[in-house]
């Protein structure tokens, strides 16, 4: 199809406008975190660092940040272990029910967050009678973070063949020695990428968290949600939102550089083509 | 069970417990597989599948009005309430309407940008543009909804942008929910569409042009039919993610209630988990029906 020069230009301009539409709201939050006006009228008249100072000094924000990091680190560790085991099982062996398990690992992230949230809330409170706490949040997060580690690990395993492991076994190394000295080094960067994504996913998750967190406990997103509608907290909420953007984008950016599997290798939830199947998201969130 | 390697004799006689386990694992691939699979499969089944099954069952239970605890009396009341009560019907319809409009908006916005990235931009730009689309996908959903609260605010950016052309900000309303959700899920539509455009062979497009078709005719008669599964794949995301939303409705929706709002209210304040479970089954049912309808188009392989 021969597109005229002007048609190409128009398409380019539309693309630029859409990207502007994608980034403008996020930039607005960043700019507003320095906006001296409490009501955030646009355009801003003067800028200040006061909100950043207040956010840093706020005990609520510091506690929530510590909680978020704690939850994200522990769920990342759990999903690293489970995701790697699962990837090895599904890639190196074929067995009855393999496709079902493949679907199962994607499900927590494919269904809307609210379904996962209420299902787990119901499991903990009604079925098991476990009081909601940070541990229930960690169990929930690990369940949907597993998929990012799994995706990165299995994509890597598909590219490296098992002959090195066979050679290691032939040379007399035990199963564990082979895993530590041969398999793990090949997986290292893929696991790092998957782990970073899992961390980011857990760090800014809100929907499942609100359904599984105990009373009185707050992760950073929960802190934002509960302070969002308080006018005198609004400036600090902006700052925390910027922190959330940075803490989720930086690991993704690092993961992107680490996983050379594909551009989309960071795993847009459920979106992918060909050999590397991905699942999200985010759910959303 | 097909196994990848034949068992070989252990290289050295086991001396310690650690070695004995290692040798046993070495001899039996079945044992190795069991060792790998047990923990993650048990986690997924015991935590997630059990939770989904329990959700279904809880919807058939009721709440003791005295103690406020879930009582295991079997009843279809919750299901009947959410399907026949006009309030729930109205909320279901509103949620469906929002999800459909969001999906249509995303389709219209995503088509030109996906086409440009896949077929017009040169390769170097293509990679950069894909990353540019992907990055915000990972920014927090909450922050994106919050960003739109800023954009839509009284005296905010949208009012300022709209003032010269006489447009007003819709304020916090259903329109705001639609705009914000369309914004949040847009990358989920762009990426499958981009993959779809990539699959259309250039030679086919050229052939169509050589045979005298104008660009628009080529798009309609050659490209679009190949693209349909990708479009549907994109709609599955935007549609089902919108159906389950409640945070956006809470942040920019004003008084707008969606199915998710009701679920959340019944888990928290109203403390009626069985009813919440019954309401949560509505989006699940709608998504299942949608998936069932579109499965023949091959869209599910494009996810």
Query: Quick check: B88 contacting A, CB < 8 Å?
Result: no
> Model confidence at A265, in pLDDT bands (50, 70, 90)?
very low
Interchain CB distance below 8 Å, A264 and B191: yes
- A166-202 per-position pLDDT tens digit: 888 888 888 888 888 888 988 998 999 899 889 988 9
Helix (H, G, I), strand (E, B) or coil at B63: strand
> Scanning every residue of chain A, which has its alpha carbon at the shortest distance from the alpha carbon of B276?
A118
Instruction: Supply the pLDDT for residue A272.
Output: 34
Residue A68 structural domain: 52-266
Extended beta strands in chain B, E state: 62-63, 70-71
Instruction: Supply the pLDDT for residue B298.
Output: 65
Give me the percent of chain A exceeding a pLDDT of 70.
90
Q: Is B126 domain-assigned?
A: yes
Query: Quick check: A147 contacting B, CB < 8 Å?
Result: no
CA A183/CA A175 separation, integer angstroms: 10
Instruction: Supply the pLDDT for residue A285.
Output: 37
Tokens 């709609």 label which residue?
A: B235
Query: Quick check: B177 contacting A, CB < 8 Å?
Result: no
Q: Is B29 domain-assigned?
A: no
Q: Is B61 domain-assigned?
A: no
Query: Quick check: B251 contacting A, CB < 8 Å?
Result: yes
Q: Is B41 domain-assigned?
A: no
Phi then psi for residue A139, to 5 deg, are -60, -45
- For residue A138, the domain's CATH number is 1.10.3720.10
Q: Which residues contact A189 (CB under 8 A, 6 or more apart)?
A: A156, A258, A259
Q: Ranked by mean pLDDT, which of B105-109, B205-209, B235-239 comes out on top? A: B105-109
> Model confidence at A281, in pLDDT bands (50, 70, 90)?
very low
Into how many domains does chain A fold?
A: 1
Q: Is A211 domain-assigned?
A: yes
Q: Is A1 domain-assigned?
A: no
Beta-carbon count within 10 A of A10 CB: 14
Going by the DSSP 8-state scheme, the letter that residue B295 receives in this structure is G
Question: Does position A277 have pLDDT exceeding 80, yes or no?
Answer: no
Q: Is B122 domain-assigned?
A: yes
Q: Is A146 domain-assigned?
A: yes
Question: Does position B268 have pLDDT exceeding 80, yes or no?
Answer: no
CB of A203 closer than 8 Å to CB of A68: yes
Going by the DSSP 8-state scheme, the letter that residue B45 receives in this structure is I
Query: Quick check: A225 contacting B, CB < 8 Å?
Result: yes
Q: Is B40 domain-assigned?
A: no
pTM: predicted TM-score of the whole model, two decimal places: 0.81
Question: Does position A273 have pLDDT exceeding 60, yes or no?
Answer: no
Q: Which residues contact B269 (CB under 8 A, 6 or more apart)?
A: none
> Model confidence at B61, in pLDDT bands (50, 70, 90)?
confident
Residue B174 structural domain: 77-302
Question: Does position A267 have pLDDT exceeding 70, yes or no?
Answer: no
Q: Is B35 domain-assigned?
A: no
Write out the DSSP string of A115-184. HHHHHHHHIIIIII-PPP-HHHHHHHHHHHHHHHHHHHHHHHHHHS-THHHHHHHHTT--HHHHIIIIIH
Supply the ipTM of this predicted assembly. Answer: 0.78
Interchain CB distance below 8 Å, B48 and A283: no
> Model confidence at B25, in pLDDT bands (50, 70, 90)?
confident
Interchain CB distance below 8 Å, A101 and B44: yes
Q: Is B47 domain-assigned?
A: no
CB of A147 closer than 8 Å to CB of B302: no
Mean pLDDT taken over chain B: 85
CA A51/CA A57 separation, integer angstroms: 10
Interchain CB distance below 8 Å, B47 and A269: no
Segment (H or E) for A100? helix A98-110
What is the helix, strand, coil percentage profile of chain A, to 5?
A: 75, 0, 25
Question: Does position B9 have pLDDT exceeding 80, yes or no?
Answer: no
- For residue B97, the domain's CATH number is 1.10.3720.10
Interchain CB distance below 8 Å, B120 and A271: no
Into how many domains does chain B fold?
A: 1
Tokens 């549609």 label which residue?
A: B239
Instruction: Supply the pLDDT for residue B184.
Output: 92
Query: B12 contacts in A (CB within 8 Å)?
Result: 172
CA B93/CA B69 separation, integer angstroms: 31
A21 by Cβ neighbours in 10 Å (0-12 / 13-18 / 19+) ranks as: middle
- A86-113 per-position pLDDT tens digit: 999 998 888 888 888 887 887 787 778 8
Question: Does position A276 have pLDDT exceeding 60, yes or no?
Answer: no
B109 by Cβ neighbours in 10 Å (0-12 / 13-18 / 19+) ranks as: buried
> Scanning every residue of chain B, which has its alpha carbon at the shortest distance from the alpha carbon of A214?
B268
Range A190-218 average pLDDT: 90
Instruction: Supply the pLDDT for residue B8.
Output: 57
Range B147-154 average pLDDT: 87
Mean pLDDT taken over chain A: 83
Test the A interface: residue of B6, B18, B40 with most A CBs within 10 Å:
B40
> Model confidence at A145, in pLDDT bands (50, 70, 90)?
very high
B50 by Cβ neighbours in 10 Å (0-12 / 13-18 / 19+) ranks as: middle
């Amino acid at each position: 199809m021969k597109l005229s020069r002007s048609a190409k230009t128009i398409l380019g301009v539309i693309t630029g406008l859409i990207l502007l539409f994608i980034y403008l709201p996020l930039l607005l939050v960043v700019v507003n975190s320095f906006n001296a006006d409490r009501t955030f009228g646009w355009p801003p008249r003067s800028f200040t660092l006061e909100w950043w100072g207040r956010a840093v000094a706020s005990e609520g924000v510091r506690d929530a940040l510590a909680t978020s990091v704690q939850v994200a680190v522990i769920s990342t560790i759990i999903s690293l272990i489970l995701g790697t085991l699962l990837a090895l099982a599904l890639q190196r062996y074929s067995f009855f029910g393999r496709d079902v398990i493949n679907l199962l690992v994607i499900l927590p992230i494919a269904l809307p967050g609210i379904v996962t949230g209420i299902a787990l809330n119901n499991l903990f409170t009604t079925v098991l009678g476990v009081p909601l706490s940070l541990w229930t949040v960690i169990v929930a997060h690990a369940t949907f973070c597993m998929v990012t580690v799994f995706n990165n690990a299995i994509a890597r395993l598909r590219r490296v063949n098992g002959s090195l492991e066979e050679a290691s076994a032939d040379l007399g190394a035990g199963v564990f020695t082979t895993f530590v000295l041969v398999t793990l080094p090949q997986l290292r960067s893929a696991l790092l990428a998957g782990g970073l994504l899992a961390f980011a996913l857990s760090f800014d998750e809100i929907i499942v968290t609100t359904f599984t967190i105990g009373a009185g406990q707050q992760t950073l997103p929960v802190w934002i949600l509960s302070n969002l509608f308080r006018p005198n907290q609004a400036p600090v909420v902006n700052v925390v939102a910027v922190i959330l953007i940075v803490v989720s984008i930086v690991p993704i950016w690092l993961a992107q550089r680490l996983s050379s599997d594909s551009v989309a290798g960071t795993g847009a939830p459920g979106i992918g083509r060909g050999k590397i199947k991905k699942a999200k998201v985010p759910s959303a969130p | 069970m097909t196994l990848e390697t034949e068992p070989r004799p252990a290289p050295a006689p086991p001396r310690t417990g650690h070695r004995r386990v290692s040798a046993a694992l070495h001899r039996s691939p079945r044992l190795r597989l069991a060792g790998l699979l047990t923990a993650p499969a048990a986690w997924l089944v015991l935590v997630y599948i059990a939770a989904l099954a329990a959700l279904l069952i809880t919807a058939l239970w009721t709440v003791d009005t005295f103690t406020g605890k879930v009582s295991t009396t079997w009843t279809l009341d919750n299901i009947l309430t959410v399907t026949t009560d006009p309030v729930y019907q109205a909320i279901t319809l509103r949620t469906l309407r929002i999800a459909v409009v969001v999906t249509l908006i995303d389709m219209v916005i995503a088509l030109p940008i996906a086409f440009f990235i896949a077929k017009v931009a040169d390769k170097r730009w293509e990679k950069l543009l894909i990353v540019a689309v992907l990055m915000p996908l990972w920014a927090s959903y909450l922050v994106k909804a919050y960003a739109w609260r800023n954009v839509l605010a009284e005296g905010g950016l949208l009012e300022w942008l709209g003032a010269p052309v006489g447009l007003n900000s819709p304020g916090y309303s259903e329109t705001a929910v639609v705009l914000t959700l369309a914004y949040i899920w847009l990358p989920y539509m762009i990426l499958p569409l981009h993959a779809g455009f990539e699959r259309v062979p250039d030679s086919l497009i050229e052939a169509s042009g050589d045979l005298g078709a104008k660009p628009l005719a080529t798009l309609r008669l050659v490209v679009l039919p190949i693209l349909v599964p990708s479009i549907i794949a994109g709609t599955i995301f935007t549609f089902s993610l919108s159906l389950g939303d409640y945070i956006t409705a809470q942040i920019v929706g004003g008084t707008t209630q969606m199915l998710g709002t009701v679920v959340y209210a019944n888990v928290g304040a109203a403390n009626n988990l069985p009813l919440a479970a019954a309401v949560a089954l509505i989006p699940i049912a709608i998504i299942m029906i949608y998936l069932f309808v579109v499965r023949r188009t091959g869209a599910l392989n494009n996810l």
